[in-house]
Amino acid sequence: MTARRPLSPLETLLQSHSQVPWWLYLLLALISGLLLHWLSFRLLQGSTAVAGGTLLHGFTLVGQVLVPLALLCAAVADLFNRLSRRRRVSRLQQEASPDHLLQQLSRQDLRALVLWALQAEGLVLQHGCAADGSVLLQRGEEGYLLDLSPWRAAQLKRADLLALRERMTEHGVDAGLLVCQGRIDSDARLLARRSGIRLIDRRVLRQWLRASVSQTAPQL
């Protein structure tokens, strides 16, 4: 018999919902209170004629308060658990999102992710790191220069593109790869396209993070 895969925390929370809706406790509290009150009244009327009627009347008198109160407490506790569970599920979903994971990446982790995805596209790492911090890759006869330096910048600057283009000339390559998860305006994209630089932006990084889970890098 094949062992079942352990449930993730998110799956566990999603599957651990209550079988009884919280509002049903309120309905039961109302019904039980009215029923026990009616029964207490009837027993009070016949307590002298029925053996043990006084004792039963005492139980119903106390029960018409304690039973609804217990059901009300159960309703409040169930509602609180549901709200707490919903918040925990929301937090787990947020922590598992590509945007959250992207913020947690170190430069070394980002470099590993980018190289993994690029190598899945057929690029081969030529040198671990050039003297200027760039990474050289090759695909066929074409060389690529990868620049990770502005990856945490809030906005890609024109100077970053010009600097990469200058280093491309120094290394004798015609294609560049620049990673930046910040804002990239239309002028920067136009300059990158004219300079032979492929921009790896936040959208691409999110796709690669999703693909890394299934070990399949997308062809972009």
76 assigned to some structural domain: yes
Q: Which pLDDT score, from 0 to 100, does residue 127 have?
A: 64
Same domain, 68 and 138: no
Count of domains in the chain? 2
220 assigned to some structural domain: no
Same domain, 60 and 155: no
194 assigned to some structural domain: yes
Same domain, 179 and 86: no
Contact 29, 71 (CB under 8 A): yes
218 assigned to some structural domain: no
* CATH classification of the domain holding 151: 3.40.1340.10
pLDDT-flagged residues of the chain (< 50): 1-3, 5-17, 48-49, 51, 216-220
Same domain, 79 and 111: no
Look at residues 143, 180, 137, 133 and name the one whose alpha carbon lies nearest to residue 158.
Answer: 180
Same domain, 152 and 76: no
DSSP string, 147-204: E-TTTT-SB--HHHHHHHHHHHHHHT-SEEEEE--SB--HHHHHHHHHHTEEEE-HHH
Q: Which pLDDT score, from 0 to 100, does residue 46 have?
A: 62
Tokens of 158: 């024109």
Helix (H, G, I), strand (E, B) or coil at 11: helix
Same domain, 74 and 150: no
Q: Render pLDDT for 54-64 as a digit per residue (tens, 0 to 9).
A: 677 677 778 88
Same domain, 150 and 70: no
Dihedral class, residue 215 (left if φ above 0, else alpha if ψ from -120 to 50, else beta): left
Q: Render pLDDT for 128-166 as a digit per residue (tens, 0 to 9).
A: 555 556 789 999 889 999 998 888 888 999 999 999 999
Q: Please say which residue of 32, 66, 96 terminates a domain.
A: 96
> What span, in angstroms and rounded, lies between the C-alpha atoms of 39 and 56?
9
Same domain, 113 and 195: yes
55 assigned to some structural domain: yes
Same domain, 64 and 125: no
Same domain, 180 and 123: yes
Q: Which pLDDT score, from 0 to 100, does residue 76 have?
A: 87
Structural domain of 55: 9-96
Same domain, 188 and 150: yes
**Residues 6 or more apart from 178 whose CB is under 8 A from it?**
146, 147, 150, 156, 160, 161, 164, 192, 197, 198, 199, 200
Q: Which pLDDT score, from 0 to 100, does residue 19 have?
A: 57
Same domain, 123 and 209: yes
